[in-house]
Amino acid sequence: IAGFCLSSAGILVGLLCYTPSIKVPETIMTYRGRFALCVYDTQTKKLIKREIIDLEQEETFMGSFESDQTEQSIVYEYFGKLIANRLLQEYERL
């Protein structure tokens, strides 16, 4: 009976230690970039305006970025759209 109680306690402790590892991993991505937005006149072949745009964004994603190719493509697509939208906003402002 004592051996059974000890093994049951060991299984219970093992399950309690295992429970936190069931949590889905989070990946925090911080993107920092600097872009030059240039407006160029093709007829006169002159640079009309040049703006430097700094972009910094931090996002938390569920899942493991290093091990899952699907997660990587989703993150790359997200940040690609983020950059494109920011450049379009700055271009409209010019």
The pLDDT value given to residue 26: 72
The pLDDT value given to residue 65: 63
C-alpha to C-alpha distance for 12 and 2, rounded to whole angstroms:
15
The pLDDT value given to residue 66: 64
Distances in whole angstroms, Cα of residue 94 to Cα of each of 46, 50, 59, 83: 16, 10, 28, 17
The pLDDT value given to residue 54: 87
The stretches in the chain having pLDDT less than 50 are 1-19
Distances in whole angstroms, Cα of residue 29 to Cα of each of 5, 26, 46: 46, 10, 38
The pLDDT value given to residue 48: 87
Please give the single-letter amino acid code of residue 48: I
Which residues, 6 or more positions from 74, have their beta carbon under 8 angstroms from its beta carbon? 61
The pLDDT value given to residue 5: 39
The pLDDT value given to residue 67: 64
Handedness of CA 86, 89, 91, 94 (dihedral sign): negative
Task: Give the tokens for residue 56.
Answer: 């910094």
The pLDDT value given to residue 6: 41
The pLDDT value given to residue 73: 78
